[in-house]
Amino acid sequence: MTVRTRPALDTLPAYAPGRIVPGAIKLASNELSFPTLPSVAAAIADAVAHRTAGINRYPDPGGQGLVAALARHTGAPESHVIAGNGSVALCQQLVQATAGEGDEVLFGWRSFEAYPIVTQITGASSVRVPVTASHELDLPALATAITPATRLIFICTPNNPTGTAVRRADLVTFLDAVPDDVLVVIDEAYREFDAGADSPDGLEFALSRPNVLTLRTLSKAYGLAGLRVGYAVGDPLVIGALRKVAIPFALSSVAQAAGLAALAVKDELAPRWQQVIAERERVTAGLRAAGFEVPASQANFVWLPLRQRAADFSAHAERQHNVIVRAFPDACGGVRVTIGSPEENEAFLAAARSFQL
Ligand SMILES: Cc1ncc(COP(=O)(O)O)c(C=O)c1O
């Protein structure tokens, strides 16, 4: 007899992570290419080695020290902050806390590929609203797509994978159109790379509107992708619901220590973000000069809307130039390429220039 699993899992798309190929240049997962700062590495080593409260003990279940530091970092009261096992775990908690069978979760498409997965796991339905011809989230169309069944809306800005950011004024118009009992999550995983003068700061809305939450991560700009630290700021009622559905002890003591140390070196990290932004502009200009369409990115990656040719491009970059990019090979697909070190970006540009468009 075969064990019975939920039918919803039969059609669940698998999360496809950026591939790791030993010896290749990996530009597929939007990580920071810089090495870990020594003080962060030392804090991690200390957390492992500590004799009285080391890894033989369970971690602080609520990560109170980290939550307090995140509250100081964001200016939010501690009651408005939760930390999680990466912001993707918080995405799943958000859907679990708000939606189930018969409910709808709304987001732009293409956007972060975990949204439909975490939605289907709970039994809710995904409603995908196509991005505009210029690869931006279509906020008016998203507002129109709200129905009485809508429980949760993900607004990813800058958007993964298209890189485009929404404008603050457009976001205000959108938020004004959303019913008060529908939660809007502003996913700002890439906000530290957003240099747009009109770009919103999700915190402004998360602290003034009870149905808005901002989702952030230390995986990207803070260089902790391997340790899994994300956080959310929102109304205490929503934060309380997220705590209820959290897996106990999901945030390890080592991750908590690393998070604290990374927040403490923000000023040392910020120049790295500026270097990523400068490289992003250089790579964008190089790609456009080579004939590629490249939407203006505010993230640490660029998007090439190559649609069905995405797989060809990715194979060419890997086989001829040893560069791993992230291909989404379908009708609304393309290739997403992380901004790496200048040498890595040069290798990628060489791959792009030698691709037959
Ligand atoms: C838009 C967006 N949100 C959330 C995440 C999850 O990041 P993490 O779980 O590493 O915090 C990612 C990761 O790629 C992302 O692109």
C-alpha 115 to ligand 1 mean position (Å): 10
| Confidence band for 22, pLDDT divided at 50, 70 and 90 | very high
Please determine, for residue 166, whether its predicted confidence score (pLDDT) is greater than 90.
yes
Predicted local distance difference test score (pLDDT) of residue 65:
97
Mutation pick for ligand 1 pocket among 219, 229, 298, 301 (CB with most ligand atoms within 8 Å): 219
For 244, left (φ over 0), alpha (ψ -120 to 50), or beta? Answer: alpha
* 266 contacts: CB under 8 Å, gap ≥ 6: 73, 222
For the cut 70, the answer to whether the pLDDT of residue 52 exceeds it is no
239-286 residue pLDDT tens:
999 999 999 999 999 999 999 999 999 999 999 999 999 999 999 999
Per-residue pLDDT band at 122 (split at 50, 70, 90)? very high
* Close Cβ partners of 279 (under 8 Å, ≥ 6 residues apart): 339, 340, 342, 345
The arithmetic mean of pLDDT across residues 126-150, rounded, is 98
Q: Which residues contact ligand 1 via a Cβ below 6 A? A: 30, 86-88, 112, 156, 160, 187, 189, 217, 219, 225, 230
Q: How far is the CA of 354 from the centre of ligand 1 (A)?
A: 31
CA of 79 to the centre of ligand 1 (A): 23
For a substitution probing ligand 1, which of 87, 164, 192 has the most ligand atoms within 8 Å of its CB?
Answer: 87
Residue 7 scores a pLDDT above 90: no
pLDDT confidence bin for 53, thresholds 50/70/90: confident
Using the atom order of ligand 1, give the atom closest to the CA of residue 111.
1
Pocket test for ligand 1, best of 29, 93, 112 (most atoms within 8 A of CB): 112
> Residue 205 phi/psi, 5° resolution?
-85, -35
Whether the predicted pLDDT of 51 surpasses 80: no
Ligand 1 centroid to residue 88 C-alpha, Å: 5
> What atom of ligand 1 comes closest to residue 85's alpha carbon?
9
Q: Is the pLDDT of residue 140 over 70?
A: yes
Q: Using an 8 Å Cβ cutoff, are 104 and 127 in contact?
A: yes
Of ligand 1's listed atoms, the one at least distance from the Cα of 218 is 11
Mean residue pLDDT of the chain comes to 96
Token readout for 148 is 């009485």
CA distances from 267 to 31, 38, 70, 189, 274 (A): 19, 14, 15, 19, 12
> For residue 50, what pLDDT is reported?
80
Question: Cβ(153)–Cβ(142) under 8 Å?
Answer: yes
221 C-alpha to center of ligand 1: Å? 11
Angle of helix 64-74 relative to helix 253-264, nearest 10 degrees? Answer: 30
Q: Which atom of ligand 1 is nearest to the CA of 219?
A: 10
For the segment 59-65, the average pLDDT, to the nearest whole number, is: 94
Task: State both tokens at 191.
Answer: 């906000």
Is the confidence at residue 96, as pLDDT, over 90? yes
Instruction: Give me the pLDDT at residue 172, please.
Output: 98
For ligand 1, pick from 220, 227, 231 the residue to mutate: most ligand atoms within 8 Å of CB: 220
| pLDDT at position 80 | 98
Q: How confident is the model at residue 332 (pLDDT cuts 50, 70, 90)?
A: confident
Which residue, judged by its Cα, is nearest atom 2 of ligand 1? 189
> What value does the mean pLDDT take over residues 311-339?
95
H helix or E strand, kind and range, residue 151: strand 150-156
Region 141-150: what's the mean pLDDT? 98
- Cβ neighbours around 186 below 10 Å, total: 28
Distance CA 206, CA 193 (A): 20
Distance 87 CA to ligand 1 centre (A): 6
Per-residue pLDDT reduced to its tens digit, 190-249: 999 999 999 999 999 999 999 999 999 999 999 999 999 999 999 999 999 999 999 999
Residues with Cβ within 8 Å of residue 323, at least 6 apart in sequence: 24, 25, 27, 317, 344, 347, 348, 351
Q: How confident is the model at residue 43 (pLDDT cuts 50, 70, 90)?
A: very high
Q: Residue 331 has what pLDDT? A: 81
**Can you tell me the distance from the alpha carbon of 354 to that of 357, in angstroms, rounded to the nearest whole number?**
9
- Checking if the pLDDT of 42 tops 90, the result is yes
Closest C-alpha to ligand 1, atom 6 = 88
Q: What are the angstrom distances between the C-alpha of 256 and each of 35, 60, 224, 248, 263? A: 19, 9, 11, 14, 11
As a whole number of angstroms, the distance between CA 71 and CA 216 comes to: 13
Q: What share of the chain in percent tops pLDDT 90?
A: 92
The Cα-based distances of 106 to 4, 130, 147, 181, 188 in angstroms read 29, 11, 10, 14, 17
Query: Which helix (H) or strand (E) is 108 found in, with range?
Result: strand 104-109
What ligand 1 atom has the least distance to the C-alpha of 29? 14
Proportion of the chain above pLDDT 70, given as a percent: 99
